A and B are shown apart, each in its own frame.
Chain A
Amino acid sequence: MTTDAPPWTPAELEARLRAVGAARYHDKHPFNVRMHEGRLSREEIQTWVRNRYYYQTRIPVKDSAILAKADDPAFRREWVQRLHDHDGRAPGEGGLELWLRLAETVGLAREEVASLRAVLPGVRRACDAYVELVESSDLLTAVASSLTELFAGDIMTTRIAAFEKHYPWVDPEGLAYFRTRTRQAPRDAAFGLRFVQEHARTRAAQERCVAALERKCEILWSLLDAVEEAHRRPRLSPHAALRDDEEDPARLVIVLPERAVRLNAAGREILALCDGARSADAIARTLAARHPEEPEVYGDVHDFLAEMTRLGVVSHAD
């Protein structure tokens, strides 16, 4: 940190903020690239829509947190517009409602999506981290973290065109959320940018704003990492050797190069479904259906498979 350096001019600060987006905004994530090139399966689109809904539900929560930090009535009058945009002024209106319509359009059940039951644990962590970032920041940095809106208008335009071209099975009516955001995001971003330019007066404050925007980009990126991971198809590593555990017959020892992993009965049940044909999400759903009395199974299976991937117990067919 070069905190004793002179502050950047407002134009320099804007350039720094835009450079963050140019380098790290999630339009460059492989999953978004594939979405916009028309290479996602119906299941992948559905997983994305279902999980991204959790992000949508966090937006008014974080905007409420930002409102609660603001002393200035003029700021609050402007910012409260965001709550109305997302929640609507009456049931059946607003961005959350539009997202649920998108969910129906891509073939999901509205109630299932709204219940947030099948949210991937990695997505949940990413979105919760965003709310936590906002809650633990001062007003200026919290507003700066919302400036991914600077880049959102373009991605929405790209997305509408991509859906119309590549995913004809999605009813264009369902894309209303994206159309609305192409108008709202630039307006919101302009206000947020002006606020940050006016209030970040020292280099230290400016650098905190840039760092908050970087962190926000990381969060959006990791959300897509989790969605992408859910559609990989795990199978037992070709280097794994399975052995009984002499100390506990319910357990299994998986021996790998320079590593051994012990699995309990639950782990064995998951591993038995890792056949290179089922996706991680299909495995999690199968096991969640098999154990309806245990609502945490879906998320636990995803976390377990991520850990097994890290340890090299499973690899991926694709």
Chain B
Amino acid sequence: MPAPRPWNLVAELTYRCPLRCPYCSNPADHAAIRDGLATEDWARVFREAAALGCVHVGLTGGEPSARRDLEALVRHAAEAGLYVHLVTAGLPLRPEQIPALRAAGLRSVQLSIQDADPARSDALAGTESFDRKIALARAVRAAGLALTINVVLHRHNLAPCEPGEPACEGAPSGERDPVRALVALARELDADRLELAHAQYEGWALRNRAALLPTREQVEAAAATVRAERARAARPEILLVLPDWFAGRPKPCMGGWGRRLVVVAPDGLVLPCQAARDLPGLAFWSVTERSLRACWEDAPGMNAFRGEAWMREPCRSCPERARDFGGCRCQAFRIAGDPAATDPACALAPAHERLLALRRGEGAAPALVPRG
């Protein structure tokens, strides 16, 4: 099939990051993947992405502000006509940099925090960072930029603080319910959006899957809190990404393989999603060797799961296939052993029972391993 128009460029500027989040979905061997693109290379990628039809760029990583040329990259992206969005953990970026980034063309910022409880957030991030994140959020709003607070949800930050838990000082709002405390924090920061996304078990997070998997009670309690908070106030808009492990239906992963979103990794590899490089037998191409258009339209890996021709039953005749695009190829590989298999998150998948067995077996909650 002809390649569709991508709308969104995900520019993974570097895999370097000062945080050590145990749920990191970057490749487990991220340290081996160097920053392969210089400022001018990214400038070309931005121009080519705009010519392909992209309207957005998300500057992400790793931690994009670990690159010293961030301001220049923002300027190049804005000059290419892209709407520039920065996805950051809040450091090493400093609040004083925000006005200059705004002047360079930055439009919106997504800031991740790990927990509404400062001590827990620092413990999960593996570094003292909560206070810096809050200072950054205030600088973003003071500059008039749109702010999304992003929180990856898992068993640990969905559990209320237990008395005596070492890394627990309580949320600033005094809220005991962990999700309500996150909403209160996002409101206090005047965030436009709060994105609550359950962990994806890819990259480093795969190693911690057993420890990250929430309980069904936690998942349902979080959903109920979000419903109540949405009814209470229109701001912030709350986006809750439910874990497909509990839904019985696959997620519409990336809005379809190679369909809306083009990822360029730090080494220049062009991918349909941040995790696809780990899939076996797929050839992706790099912008260090070819144009972005060629990498997007013609790389065999990009075309492997475009459209519906690759689907087997039960996907092939399923009325849901236009909505969920067959789910996640990486998850199919992890659990069913075959990236072309039906996503095991789907209750109709032959390998669904294997996912359920994993879910049952991994409730023991061993200790989290911080990202190496």
Contacts and interface: CB of A to CB of B under 8 A. Distances in A.
Interface of A: 238-239, 241, 243, 246, 253, 255-258, 260, 309, 312
A258 B7 contact: no
A255 B55 contact: yes
28 contacts: A238-B144, A239-B107, A239-B145, A239-B192, A241-B83, A241-B107, A243-B81, A253-B55, A255-B55, A256-B83, A256-B146, A257-B83, A257-B85, A257-B107, A257-B108, A257-B146, A257-B148, A257-B192, A258-B56, A258-B85, A258-B108, A258-B110, A258-B148, A258-B193, A260-B7, A260-B56, A309-B234, A312-B237
Contacts of A246: 53
A312 B81 CA distance: 21
Given A239-B107, A241-B107, A260 B55 contact: yes
B233 to A, nearest CB: 12
Considering residues B7, B56, B83, B85, which has the most beta carbons from chain A within 10 angstroms of its beta carbon?
Answer: B83
Contacts of B234: 309
Nearest to A259: B56
A241 B85 CA distance: 13
Interface string B144-170: 111010000000000000000000000
A245 to B, nearest CB: 10
Given A243-B81, A255-B56, 4 more contacts: A239-B108, A253-B55, A257-B85, A309-B234
A260 B145 CA distance: 17
B111 to A, nearest CB: 12
A239 B145 CA distance: 7
Contacts of A257: 83, 85, 107-108, 146, 148, 192-193
Interface in B253-268: none
Contacts of B55: 243, 253, 255, 260
Interface of B: 7, 53, 55-56, 58, 81, 83, 85, 107-108, 110, 144-146, 148, 192-193, 234, 237
A107 B114 CA distance: 56
Going nearest first, the 10 A-B pairs with the smallest beta carbon separation are: A257-B108, A257-B146, A239-B146, A255-B83, A255-B55, A260-B55, A241-B83, A260-B7, A257-B85, A253-B55
Contacts of A255: 55-56, 83
A260 B108 CA distance: 13
Contacts of A243: 55, 81
Contacts of A256: 83, 146
Contacts of B107: 239, 241, 257
A253 B237 CA distance: 21
A238 B148 CA distance: 15
A312 B193 CA distance: 10
Contacts of B7: 260
Nearest to A309: B234
Contacts of A241: 83, 107
Nearest to B58: A258
Contacts of A238: 144
A243 B54 CA distance: 12
Interface core residue of A238, A246, A253, A256 (most chain B CB under 10 Å): A256
Contacts of B237: 312
A238 B145 CA distance: 9
B25 to A, nearest CB: 18
Nearest to B145: A239
A256 B107 CA distance: 9
Nearest to B195: A258
B281 to A, nearest CB: 32
A253 B83 CA distance: 12
A263 to B, nearest CB: 14
Nearest to B53: A246
A31 to B, nearest CB: 15
A257 B237 CA distance: 12
A243 B53 CA distance: 12
A260 B234 CA distance: 20
B192 A312 contact: yes
A286 B270 CA distance: 49
A256 to B, nearest CB: 8
